Chain A
Amino acid sequence: MNVLLDYLPEFRDGFLGTLAITVSSALLALVLGVLIAGFRVSPVPPLRAFGTAWVTVLRNTPLTLLFLVAFFVVPQILFQGASPYVLGTLALGFYTSSFVCEAVRAGITTVPLGQAEAARSLGMTFAQTLRMVVLPQATRTVIPPLSSIIIALTKNSAIAGAFGYGELFNVSKLLNDKGYAIAWIFLWTALAYLVITFSISGLFRLVERRLGVAR
């Protein structure tokens, strides 16, 4: 009980840290995921191959390994001295993008064939068909799997804490080092995660209801 009250600022910072990295890497994953899904259904074979390779490799790599790559390889190739927040966002965003891509691709296949055929017969190009006709209709079926992907992302963000980014796992580690009982720390951290994941699923349910259309 006292752990939470004594270290409220730390818990608050950790909570906000988890929230921040979740939001930024979710945005990165959504943008990349939709883009790669577009690659995977595109008429250009090399882009399709690239999309497939992207998904296969990233989905079968442990996230911890991606964090190692982000924290030790990326600085060698690109830029040195990036903050753990940026590197963690990169690792989480890239990893999650492969799952988003698969969800979007599955959503595209649920759009009735007639829609794409109608768009094509109107003379729309591939990009137009996808952007104006297929993807807007795919959104509805993509929302529920997307919700669980983002919740998984929230939970995965704990690994960023192990790499020195200040979030809830980091806080629980810190407080444990100070000698507080791990059971209480665990319960409070669990509660904080529950708050975030319940808000995410509530948010997505709201979006789902707004987008819901009687078929």
Chain B
Amino acid sequence: MSGASVLYDVPGPRAKARNRVYSVVGVLAVLGLVAFAVLRLNAKGQLDPAVWQIFNYAGVRTGIRDGVLATLQVFAVAGVLSLVLGLLLAVARLSDHKPVRWFATGFIELFRAVPLLITIYALWVILLSNRDALGLSGSQPQFWALVAGLTVYNGSVQAEVLRAGINAVPKGQREAAYALGMSKTQVMTTVLIPQAVRAMLPTIISQLVVTLKDTSLGYIVTYEELLYTARLMSTNIIVNGNDTYIPVIIVIGSIYVAMCLALSGLANWIERRGRRTRTGIGVAAAAEPVAAAGATDAAGPASEAPAPAKD
């Protein structure tokens, strides 16, 4: 807000009056749009109480519940797997062995560049045509195509996030760990990764929000998650000769927004919490040597600086 208020003067009486006019006009414009939409929907009979009555039916409710559960199931499996894959790829991309590094780089760049939908679709086709050989039945090909697609795409993105985090760990940490005689694996697992994960946690969780949103791509490979269930319901339930797209979309949309907001709220909370502890006692003690190392670098010019500063 402090950044915004610098853009305009504190409003005086005339500016206040003008802002009030703008407010009224703006609110009226938004209300006008909403009213227009409501009127049009009403004219089409989409706001009829009978249309909204469908949410009282047990079938619709269990349908939505099952859809939410299917979405959360895909999200849980894909989220965990993408974090594991991301960790592996990040470490592989930082490896000392060239082939491993090249493989990880190629994998990450390929799957980050291709639209997720195309990856999921290709995997779905592959799984469907090998269904019997792999012993998949029912909606399992869709499920695993969705999970695998989400995993390789989000795993690649998480790998880059983690790599950025590992590279951002102060160099002294790694050097100190090697000086203590730790092996490469020990340095990575006990020194670098914990600090990288901690620093990158908000970004990692925002990427998990993206994963949650992308589960809706299951709609296109006909996996019965929330969006596909919604689509089926809205075409199958006919009230007064109309399909019920609008009420179903409004309800499903609210559920999605609520789920994503909850997750990004968690990210914000962790970010605030992390910021607080970073200035706390426990971490400050560990961070001191780094700050001291920086201070000695800066000490050269700084020691000459005080004289002009006093003038």
Chain A interface residues toward B at CB < 8 A: 40-47, 50, 56-57, 59-65, 68-69, 72-73, 76-78, 108-109, 113, 116-117, 120, 125-126, 129-130, 134, 154-159, 161-162, 168-169, 172-173, 176, 182-183, 185-186, 189-190, 193-194, 197
Contacts and interface: CB of A to CB of B under 8 A. Distances in A.
B122 interface: yes
B7 A72 contact: no
A67 B140 CA distance: 26
Interface stretch (B81-89, B246-254, B299-307): B246-254
B22 A47 contact: yes
Instruction: Give the interface SS of chain B, mostly helix, strand, loop or mixed.
Output: helix
Contacts of B114: 155, 186, 189-190, 193
Contacts of A57: 257
A172 B214 contact: no
A44 B217 contact: no
Contacts of B46: 76
26 contacts: A40-B4, A43-B15, A47-B26, A56-B261, A60-B260, A60-B261, A60-B264, A61-B260, A64-B216, A65-B216, A68-B231, A68-B249, A76-B40, A76-B44, A76-B245, A109-B3, A116-B6, A116-B7, A125-B8, A126-B8, A155-B115, A158-B118, A182-B122, A189-B114, A190-B110, A193-B114
A173 B121 contact: yes
Contacts of B118: 158, 168-169, 172, 186, 189-190, 193
A126 B8 CA distance: 5
Given A44-B23, A68-B249, 12 more contacts: A61-B213, A61-B257, A61-B260, A62-B215, A65-B227, A69-B249, A76-B46, A77-B40, A126-B8, A168-B118, A176-B121, A182-B126
A123 B252 CA distance: 49
B23 A172 contact: no
A68 B227 contact: yes
Contacts of B231: 68
A78 B33 CA distance: 11
A108 B3 contact: yes
A102 to B, nearest CB: 12
Tell which of B219, B230, B261 has the most Cβ of chain A within 10 Å: B219
A65 B220 contact: no
Instruction: Give the interface SS of chain A, mostly helix, strand, loop or mixed.
Output: helix
B208 to A, nearest CB: 13
B286 interface: no
Contacts of B15: 43
B50 to A, nearest CB: 17
B27 interface: yes
B281 interface: no
A44 B40 contact: no
Interface of B: 3-4, 6-9, 11, 15, 19, 22-23, 26-27, 30, 36-37, 40-41, 44, 46, 110, 113-119, 121-122, 125-126, 209, 213-217, 219-220, 227, 230-231, 234, 245-246, 249, 252-253, 256-257, 260-261, 264
Nearest to A50: B30
A173 B116 CA distance: 14
Contact of B4 (A41, A59, A158): A41
Contact of B7 (A45, A62, A130, A190): A130
Contacts of A41: 3-4, 7
A194 B106 CA distance: 13
A62 B226 CA distance: 11
B140 to A, nearest CB: 18
A64 B146 CA distance: 14
Given A64-B217, A65-B227, A156 B115 contact: yes
B7 A69 contact: no
Nearest to B39: A77
Given A65-B252, A169-B121, A113 B26 contact: no
Tell which of B9, B46, B119, B256 has the most Cβ of chain A within 10 Å: B9
Considering the complex of A and B, which 4 residue pairs feature the smallest CB-CB distances, nearest first?
A62-B216, A158-B115, A60-B260, A155-B115
Nearest to B113: A194
A169 B246 CA distance: 27
B22 A44 contact: yes
Contacts of B219: 64
B58 to A, nearest CB: 24
B26 A120 contact: no
Nearest to B129: A182
B249 A73 contact: yes
Contact of A120 (B9, B116, B125, B253): B9
